[in-house]
Amino acid sequence: MNEHLDILVERARRHDPDALAELCERLYPELYRYIAYRVGGKEDAEDLTSELFLRMVRSIKNLKGSIRGWIYRIAENLVTDYYRRRAVRRGVIGEIESPDTMPSPQADPSRGLLAGDLQRGMRTLTAEQYQVVTLKFLEGYSTEEIAAFLGKSTGAVKALQFRALQGLRGFFTEDDRHE
């Protein structure tokens, strides 16, 4: 599968329209989910995902390394810019609100009562920790794949995952003490 993706990327780098279309089609669902978890709103997620693929098409010829690592960096930059623009529009400089990380329990009752707690816990993570947790536990990628996507060693990814899970554990333990 990765070999086919590599071939597709090479064709896309030469601006083969069929390869670009297939690449967008293959990557859209996971990138839309990632952005939707980060921004919460369907329309905003659709807009940002569209912008992500426009940027990909414009600059894929300059790609060096992993397509997924590169495109997730673009996605993260778009999400960061999105929250900066929102903060400026609201007149809040310096403090950018954290995104909703999961759909609300009302939107998906199967998420249960913990969805709100998980959202609050995920907001405490750094951007890199958030990425690792999302890719590992929501998207199902292996540590090695995540390392390749993010251009990091597997040890660095494991450390980020460990710190993220420790942070979440601490968040939930602290939260339990306040009840």
Between 95 and 140, residue with greater pLDDT: 140
Reported residue count of the chain is 179
Backbone angles phi and psi of 55, in degrees to 5:
-65, -40
- List of domains in the chain: 1-99 (1.10.1740.10), 103-179 (1.10.10.10)
> Residue 17 pLDDT more than 90?
yes
Between 90 and 103, residue with greater pLDDT: 90
pTM here is 0.61
Q: Do 58 and 4 form a contact (C-beta atoms < 8 A)?
A: no
User: What is d(CA 62, CA 71) in angstroms, rounded to the nearest whole number?
Assistant: 12
Residue 147's pLDDT band, with cuts at 50, 70 and 90, is confident
- The one-letter amino acid code at 155 reads G
Helices (H) and strands (E) in the chain, counts: 8, 0
> Residue 48 pLDDT more than 50?
yes
Handedness of CA 53, 128, 170, 30 (dihedral sign): positive
